[in-house]
């Protein structure tokens, strides 16, 4: 999801901006904030310069940050500077949620639990109902900068990247 978000942000750079009063600040680096649940609430550590990382680098950074947040071994500097955030309420089994923007970011992606669902697929023999792993994505946006149409296009681009992911080229 992080890799797909980074690719979609490259296509729609307004999602990597922030508002400073009435000034729009476009960020050159894509710094992804990840909501990590703790007993006392959420912390949002940041993976800096995600546009420079490959899939393995993103995975290693994600694991490292989450482990250090949960062990209390995270610095204040690592909790600042996000330009886009991702919240995974799916870890609790929820298929849908409404993420709240971590300002000054202008958008946050919410990821639900991946669950098998019946889906209609068109085949050469007609329609067929098959089981597929499905996930609901939600997007919180700051409407002072991004409207619903822009949010819809961004989510559609993420879906395209996720559905056409070439796993042979990830590592």
Q: Which of 20, 26, 127, 143 is catalytic?
A: 143
Structure tokens at 102: 């971590």
Coil, strand, or helix at residue 136?
coil
Torsion of CA 138, 24, 9, 38, to 10 degrees: -50
Active site residue 27: no
Q: Point out the catalytic residue in the list 26, 127, 142, 147.
A: 147
109: nearest Cα among 34, 170, 53, 48: 34
20 catalytic? Reply is no
Identify the burial level of 6 via C-beta atoms within 10 angstroms of its C-beta, where 0-12 means exposed, 13-18 middle and 19 or more buried.
buried
Please state, in angstroms and rounded to a whole number, the distance separating the CA atoms of residues 162 and 122. 20
Catalytic residues: 143, 147
């Amino acid at each position: 999801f992080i890799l797909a978000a980074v690719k979609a942000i490259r296509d729609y750079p307004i999602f990597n901006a922030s508002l400073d009063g009435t000034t729009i600040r476009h960020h050159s680096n894509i710094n992804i904030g990840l909501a990590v649940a703790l007993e006392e609430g959420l912390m949002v550590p940041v993976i800096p310069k995600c546009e420079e990382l490959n899939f393995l680098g993103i995975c290693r950074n994600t694991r490292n940050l989450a482990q250090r947040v949960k062990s209390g071994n995270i610095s204040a500097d690592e909790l600042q500077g996000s330009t886009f955030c991702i919240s995974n309420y799916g870890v609790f089994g929820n298929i849908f949620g409404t993420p709240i923007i971590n300002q000054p970011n202008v958008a946050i992606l919410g990821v639900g639990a991946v669950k098998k669902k019946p889906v209609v697929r068109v085949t050469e023999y007609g329609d067929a109902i098959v089981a597929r792993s499905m996930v609901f994505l939600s997007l919180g946006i700051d409407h002072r900068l991004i409207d619903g149409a822009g949010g819809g296009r961004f989510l559609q681009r993420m879906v395209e990247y996720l559905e056409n992911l070439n796993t042979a080229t990830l590592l």
